[in-house]
Structure 1
């Protein structure tokens, strides 16, 4: 696999390259770029399998660089210092990221997940990401969620509740359909934290707008719009 690193911090790019070399001998770093313009040129010339893209760069940041590419035909992993809006956007659009300073175990997990999924970002994911970055406080109506088959774009207000299923989550919708997503309930909760959802039980996350009734009793339970009873 060919990898390109787009990173303006020299120490960070050297560390990332060394970690890749020592942990993933099948990955060859074919180019290290210092800015977005170099990144665009290298991606167009070298057709990498995976790109590690820094968010914060002078003149052209990582998101602006993405907007200049005609297509994204590679695995994409962002690298970033902690930024609550950027991290929320990554979770919301189901795009992988690494926090600086880059940890070896986090890197291994991110690369292995990208290889295991064998799925490049779709345009809808990138549109969601860029929209969430540009308007961080604005509520967006769709959510990108990974599934066993690929990626599913979901209308947030169509979700009645989410149910834990080991390392997966089952979403229940207004049209009585279900969707199993490759995220824990906690990860789904984090993606929906700015919306009208509440963790009412260790196994359930509910859409507050879909609650029809609360029934008192030992602990009590909720009646949802689809008539499901959920313990609280």
Structure 2
């Protein structure tokens, strides 16, 4: 019997299929009443799932390609859900999570540790049911993101892009947006553009998340270049830029970035 007296739904986001399946199977053993409503292989699909059906609990890998577990956690927190992060790196995780996160799990996940996390989640859910508050998850996410932000040699500084019959060196400060197109990624500046073969999800790992935002599965935009986001009569959102005439689509999974702008 479920002691919470209600259905408890969960989302699992992990880009490695064997680990995703293993965590799901372990959760079925440790928490039989938990209903996994989404098993996601990347951050974008996790965001889309949160938008469509917000989970009560989310188990999120921090270092997913493209959209990170921190971005997904923000969306979950905005919907009132709880978060457990999974990570293979304990060098930065322990102190940060013990400062106030619901919990974290080191990979490979050990059954005894998972049972402990489940007990804590049950307690937090019961506290919420009785009206008690919880940790400031948004503040925790901000602190974690600052520690995980690419620095030094990890940051992309130049893009070598093909432009017709030539190759152009584009400084990262010139780029307005990146847009995936079949086998290539467009690199667009205020007055020119080129293409690169590096997948967008790999490129994101070297971009400063304070300077570039993903706004669509295939689009990453410089924040300072954004002029406005407009909603049309069909409910679809598009983004306009300050120094470029092109309008870019914004998917619902990323609209949370623009709240309060």
- What stretches of structure 2 of length at least 5 have no aligned partner? 1-7, 149-261
Tell me if 1:115 matches 2:122: yes
Provide the C-alpha distance between the structure 2 equivalents of 1:106 and 1:124, rounded to a whole number of angstroms: 23
Question: So what's the TM-score if we normalise by structure 2?
Answer: 0.47
Cα shift at 1:95: 3.1
Q: Which one of 98, 112, 117 corresponds to residue 91 of structure 1?
A: 98
- What stretches of structure 1 of length at least 5 have no aligned partner? 137-232
Which residue number in structure 2 is paired with residue 81 of structure 1?
88
Tell me if 1:2 matches 2:14: no
1:152-175 C-alpha deviation (Å, 9 max, x unpaired): xxxxxxxxxxxxxxxxxxxxxxxx
What number of residue pairs does the alignment pair up?
Answer: 137
**What secondary structure does 2:99 align onto?**
helix
1:164-210 C-alpha deviation (Å, 9 max, x unpaired): xxxxxxxxxxxxxxxxxxxxxxxxxxxxxxxxxxxxxxxxxxxxxxx
**TM alignment of 1:150-165, pairs within 5 A:** none
1:13-41 C-alpha deviation (Å, 9 max, x unpaired): 10011111123220111210011111111
Provide the C-alpha distance between the structure 1 equivalents of 2:76 and 2:54, rounded to a whole number of angstroms: 12
Cα shift at 1:4: 0.8
**What secondary structure does 1:93 align onto?**
coil
Which residue number in structure 2 is paired with residue 34 of structure 1?
41
Q: Residues 69 and 17 (structure 1 numbering): CA distance in 2 closer, same or farther, change over 3 Å? A: closer
Specify which structure has the bigger relative contact order, considering alpha-carbon pairs within 8 angstroms and separated by 6 or more residues.
Answer: 2
Root mean square deviation, CA, Å: 2.5
